[in-house]
Amino acid sequence: MNALEWIAAILLIAGALFFFAGTVGMLRFPDAFSRLHALTKVDNLGLGLLVLGLALQSGSLAIALKLLLIWVLAIVAAATGAYLVANGASRRP
Amino acid sequence: MVNLYLVFDLLLALTLMWVGWRTLTSPDLFRGVVLFIAFGVLMTLAWVRLEAPDVAMAEAAIGAGLTGALLLDALADLRARRSHQDIEVSRLAAVSVITLALAGVLSWVMLTLPAQHASMHAPVTQPPNASGITNPVTLVLLVYRAYDTLLEMAVLLLAVIGARALHDEAPVGRAAPQYDLLAPAARVLLPAILLVAAYLLWAGATRPGGAFQAGAVLGAAGVLLRLAGLLPSPATYRRWMQMGLVSGFMVFLLVGVLVIFAGLPWLGYPATHTKALILLVETGLTLSIGMSLLSLFMSVPEQRSPSTHARASAS
Amino acid sequence: MTTGLVFAIAGAQLFFLGVYSLIVHTHLLRRILALNVMGSATFLAIVGMAQRAQGAAPDPLAHALVLTGIVVAVSASALALALLRQLVAAGGGTALEEDREA
Amino acid sequence: MMQNICLALAVFLLLNVAAGLVRIMRGPTPADRMLSAQLFGTTGVGVLLLLAEAMRTPALRDVALVLALLAVLAVAAFVKRGWPDEAGGR
Judgement on whether residues B27 and B139 belong to the same structural domain of the protein: no
Interface contact flag, B45 D44, Cβ < 8 Å: yes
**Bond preceding residue D58 cis, omega within 30 of 0:** no
- Where b means 16+ CB within 10 Å and e means fewer, A38-59 reads bbbbbbbbbbbbbbbbbbbbbe
What range defines the domain where residue C79 resides? 3-101
Helices (H), B134-237: 136-139, 146-166, 182-203, 211-227
pLDDT above 60 (res B171): no
User: What is the rounded average pLDDT of the residues B79-89?
Assistant: 71
What is the per-residue pLDDT for B184? Answer: 84
Residue that wins the pLDDT comparison between B72 and A89: B72
Identify the domain boundary among B91, B117, B143. B117
| Number of domains making up chain C | 1
**What proportion of chain B, given as a percentage, has pLDDT over 70?**
81
**B208-245, pLDDT tens digit by residue?**
888 888 999 999 898 888 888 777 766 777 788 888 88
D14 touches chain A (CB under 8 A): no
User: What is the rounded average pLDDT of the residues B58-63?
Assistant: 90
| Chains adjacent to B (≥3 CB pairs closer than 8 angstroms) | A, C, D
Alpha-carbon gap, residue A6 to C74, rounded angstroms: 45
Judgement on whether residues B11 and B149 belong to the same structural domain of the protein: no
Alpha-carbon gap, residue A81 to B218, rounded angstroms: 20
Contact at 8 Å (CB) between B47 and B59?
yes
| Number of domains making up chain B | 2
pTM (2 d.p.): 0.89
**D20-62, pLDDT tens digit by residue?**
888 888 878 888 888 888 888 899 999 999 999 888 888 899 9
What is the per-residue pLDDT for B230? Answer: 79
Average pLDDT of every residue of chain C: 86
Contact at 8 Å (CB) between A57 and D56?
no
Judgement on whether residues B93 and B143 belong to the same structural domain of the protein: no
User: What is the rounded average pLDDT of the residues B197-217?
Assistant: 87
* Sign (positive or negative) of CA dihedral C18, C20, C21, C23: positive
Query: Virtual CA dihedral for A66, A67, A68, A70, nearest 10 degrees?
Result: 90
Among A4-8, A84-88, B5-9, C77-81, which is the least confidently predicted range? A84-88
Judgement on whether residues B198 and B64 belong to the same structural domain of the protein: no
Judgement on whether residues B99 and B169 belong to the same structural domain of the protein: no
Interface contact flag, A73 B182, Cβ < 8 Å: no
List the 24-83 stretch of A: residues with Cβ below 8 A of B: 73, 76-77, 79-80, 83
A84 touches chain D (CB under 8 A): yes
Judgement on whether residues B146 and B215 belong to the same structural domain of the protein: yes
**What proportion of chain D, given as a percentage, has pLDDT over 70?**
91
Judgement on whether residues B113 and B139 belong to the same structural domain of the protein: no
Closest CA relative to residue C9, chosen from B114, D51, B10, B118: B10
Judgement on whether residues B38 and B167 belong to the same structural domain of the protein: no
Q: Which residues of B touch A66 (CB under 8 A)?
A: none
For residue C79, give the CATH number of its domain.
Answer: 1.10.287.3510
Average pLDDT of every residue of chain B: 80
Alpha-carbon gap, residue D78 to D66, rounded angstroms: 19
List the 248-287 stretch of B: residues with Cβ below 8 A of A: none
For residue B160, give how far its alpha carbon lies from the nearest alpha carbon of chain A (Å).
29
What range defines the domain where residue B278 resides? 132-315
Q: On the CB side of B240, how many CA atoms lie within 13 Å of its CA?
A: 7
Tell me, yes or no, whether B96 lies in a domain.
yes
Q: Confidence class of residue B145 from pLDDT cuts 50, 70 and 90?
A: confident
Contact at 8 Å (CB) between C34 and C70?
no
B117: left (phi over 0), alpha (psi -120 to 50) or beta: beta
Q: Confidence class of residue B129 from pLDDT cuts 50, 70 and 90?
A: low
Average pLDDT of every residue of chain D: 84
Interface contact flag, A19 D43, Cβ < 8 Å: yes
pLDDT above 80 (res B116): no
**B40-54, pLDDT tens digit by residue?**
999 999 999 998 999
**A2-52, pLDDT tens digit by residue?**
888 888 889 999 999 999 988 888 888 888 888 888 888 888 889 999 999
User: What is the rounded average pLDDT of the residues C6-26?
Assistant: 91
What is the per-residue pLDDT for D4? Answer: 86
List the 54-73 stretch of D: residues with Cβ below 8 A of A: 58, 61, 64-65, 68-69, 71-72
Judgement on whether residues B286 and B138 belong to the same structural domain of the protein: yes
| Chains adjacent to A (≥3 CB pairs closer than 8 angstroms) | B, D
Q: Could you give the C-alpha distances from A45 to A16, B100, B280, C78, in angstroms and in order?
A: 10, 45, 42, 37
Alpha-carbon gap, residue B224 to B65, rounded angstroms: 10
Of D24, D47, D59, the CB nearest to B31: D24
Contact at 8 Å (CB) between B245 and B291?
yes
Contacts by A37-41, CB closer than 8 A, 24 or more apart: A39/A78, A39/A82, A39/D35, A39/D38, A39/D39, A39/D42, A40/A78, A40/A79, A40/A82
Q: Which residues of D touch B29 (CB under 8 A)?
A: 89
Identify the domain boundary among B117, B145, B178. B117
Interface contact flag, B31 D60, Cβ < 8 Å: no
Where do the structural domains in chain D lie, given as residue ranges?
2-82
Tell me, yes or no, whether B123 lies in a domain.
no
For residue B257, give how far its alpha carbon lies from the nearest alpha carbon of chain D (Å).
34
pLDDT above 90 (res C10): yes
**What proportion of chain D, given as a percentage, has pLDDT over 90?**
31
Interface contact flag, B209 D27, Cβ < 8 Å: no
List the 53-82 stretch of C: residues with Cβ below 8 A of B: 53-54, 56-64, 66-68, 70-72, 74-79, 81-82
What is the per-residue pLDDT for B308? Answer: 43
Identify the domain boundary among B117, B141, B171. B117
pLDDT above 50 (res B311): no
